[in-house]
Amino acid sequence: MNDPFHVVMKQTKLPISLLQEKGKQKRVHVTDTESFDYTFGKKALRKKPKLNANSIEDLVTDVQEREDKYEPNKDRDLEKEEIERFENPNPLFKAGQSHRVWGELYKVIDSSDVIVQVVDARDPQGTRCKHVEQFLKKEKPHKHLVCVINKVDLVPTWVTRKWISELSKEMPTVAFHASIQNSFGKGALINLLRQFAKLHKEKQQISVGFIGYPNVGKSSLVNTLRKKKVCKTAPLAGETKVWQYVMLMRRIYLIDCPGVVYPQGDTQTDIILKGVVRVENVKDPENHIQGVLDKVKAEHLEKTYGISDWKDIEDFLQMIAFKQGRLLRGGEPDLTAVAKQVLNDFQRAKLPYFVPPPGCEERAKTEYNEAPINELEEDEDEQAGDDETEDGETEENEEEKESAEGGENDDDNLTDIDSTCSGLTDLSGVSDLAEDLEQIEEEEERVRKEEEEEKKQKKMQKTTKRGRGKRAGKKNEARKRMGKTIVEAAGNNKSSSENVVDFTNKKAAKKNNMWKKKLEKKRKNTGKMADASVACEDLKFFERRLTEVISYMGPTCTRWRALTVALLVVSLLTAISAYDWIQDPDLSSLPIMQTLHAHPFFSISLPISLLCVFIFGIHRRVVAPAIVARRCREALGYFSLSCDDNGKLFVSTL
């Protein structure tokens, strides 16, 4: 037997050969599809492969250049023979990098139409979130990105000017000094946000999210725009834990975000000096003082701490400790406390320094001491608002008015000064001048009011129709055909003559009149309500009468309480005397009656206490219920109780 499966089952009669793929059996005709000349010849359509070197000489040159640039320390694929020892990373320096903080950041980005990146004027490039900028350009290109240089009062004016011109090439940039009383750049930023609100006319309001490094002044910036403390602030990193939603105007809302740090390869000293980490949590602060000495000039340190001519870091800290009296036992200087003080002074801008703009390193050495922007100079809108308050009202009264109005600030009450923002002008016909914005807003407000008036008039003219079954709309259609109003049609419904005989069956009409039946039901309910009101008055009188009776019984209850107290006292004395009688040693040798003669107090108090208990029990069981029943009968003598067929209780007065 050639086929072993023939014993188990029969071969099928179906054409199984048709199910075999012919493509696997036939050869591929590549040359028939594309010839060699068509693919690699002069008329070839294929692109040339990208080669770094077209000849051997170019290849040798390229290899030599890459060999010169090669650094073994950065080669991850290099196998090292020595044992690598990895240091446990300190979680303190991972501040601003947790999943919770990044989750808050992405919530703010998703909820915002305009994203304001706040940077420190002392180091704008070091406090930029370039990772977030790249994410917005790649994933959210429809969202607007603005840069705000905060703390411009800590650097010279020319430095601020240079950084604005440098950063304005990439995004709109505004200089700002956050202060509720004396601010700078508030008008420019608000005008910029109003321009974005003009761009998004299709939205009822826009949201502006503030992001950036910790301790760059995001919450202070929001408080400055609102001109009152709406966000919690502190000169420490990590004060804002979650995002906060604040209203600036009717169409502009602000979102405060926690500080976010993207790992960029900064050292621990750089992280501390940027204000990302709180100094009190640093275990070895003296190891990071060298960064302060490198950034701050010696003359500023001498002026701040009153010392001079130090040799190294330890000598610098010891001189400050002896100067301020920070000593341990035995007169040893407290270097840790002094180092924390120096780092705190650096973070809180008590030690002046700044990173010079690109190409201005030499100028920074000569013009370091130039005065910064005058922080006492207020914006024009704030001066006008403070000088021209109506009826001499104070700022507190103005804040009370704001809270009474629901916190909706008018655009004109915030700022009216010119915008100093470069990089965003002539947006959809909207200028960045506050005067032009006011005119446009007035025109839009007038058009909006006219549209609302037209809608109200149309709504008043429109007649509403109520469905009435099969007759729905028939009367309205007849009135429209006649061209009459509702009043005219109702006036013409009267009979033309009083002598007309009416042949309608009034009883049948009355029986089928549903409106009349409903009216009768309402009247019945009204009668029931009147009866219920009378019953309620009787019940109130009954309640007052019963209260009087109970109050009358109060003195009697008080006397019986006094009797009860006396009974308890007698019982206590009886128990004490009984204890003395039981402890008597003659009780076992003498008869009981003789021992009672020896204890006269016990022999007297025992029958008295038994008599009091008997009298009290008789009163509680017999006398007191009779008194209560008699008083209740007197109280209820003015009322009569009855029940109806449904079992409801009615109370009435006699």
User: What are the structural domain ranges in the chain?
Assistant: 93-264+405-424, 268-366, 551-653
If we measure between CA atoms, which residue out of 612, 573, 607 comes closest to residue 596? 607
Q: Go through the chain and tell me how many residues it has.
A: 654
Distance of CA 303 to the CA centre of its chain: 44
Q: What is the model's pLDDT at position 283?
A: 83
Q: What are phi and psi of 371, to 5 degrees?
A: -65, 140
Q: What is the pLDDT confidence band of residue 419, given thresholds at 50, 70 and 90?
A: very low
- Contact indicator for 207, 114 with CB cutoff of 8 Å: yes
291-300: pLDDT as tens digits: 888 888 888 8
* pLDDT higher at 654 or 28: 28
**pLDDT at residue 481 tops 70:** no
Q: What is the model's pLDDT at position 403?
A: 41
Quote the CA–CA distance of 112 and 246 in Å, as a whole number.
12
Q: What is the model's pLDDT at position 652?
A: 61
* pLDDT higher at 73 or 208: 208
**pLDDT at residue 284 tops 90:** no
Residue type, 611: L
558-584: pLDDT as tens digits: 666 777 777 777 777 777 777 776 777
**Across the strands, what pairs with 207?**
253
* pLDDT higher at 407 or 342: 342
* pLDDT higher at 158 or 266: 158
> Rounded mean pLDDT of 275-302?
84
Mean pLDDT, the chain, rounded, equals 71
> Rounded mean pLDDT of 167-185?
88
**pLDDT at residue 488 tops 60:** no
**pLDDT at residue 400 tops 60:** no
Name the 3-class secondary structure at 260: coil
- Contact indicator for 278, 271 with CB cutoff of 8 Å: no
Quote the CA–CA distance of 303 and 310 in Å, as a whole number.
14
Axis crossing angle, helix 218-226 with helix 186-199, rounded to the nearest 10: 80
**Portion of the chain with pLDDT greater than 70, in percent:** 56
Q: What are phi and psi of 394, to 5 degrees?
A: -85, 175
Question: For domain 268-366, is the CATH number 1.20.1240.10?
Answer: no
76-109: pLDDT as tens digits: 677 766 555 554 456 566 666 677 888 888 888 8
Contacts of 562 (CB under 8 A, 6+ apart): none
Structure tokens at 186: 């508030």
Q: What is the model's pLDDT at position 264?
A: 72
CATH architecture of 93-264+405-424: 3-Layer(aba) Sandwich (3.40)
* pLDDT higher at 254 or 441: 254
Q: Mean pLDDT lowest for which of 282-291, 604-613, 617-626?
A: 617-626
Quote the CA–CA distance of 225 and 118 in Å, as a whole number.
14
- Contact indicator for 191, 379 with CB cutoff of 8 Å: no
Matching CATH topology for 93-264+405-424 and 268-366?
Answer: no
Strands 252-256 and 244-247: antiparallel
Burial of 273 (0-12, 13-18, 19+ CB in 10 A): buried
Q: What are phi and psi of 522, to 5 degrees?
A: -65, -40
* pLDDT higher at 117 or 399: 117
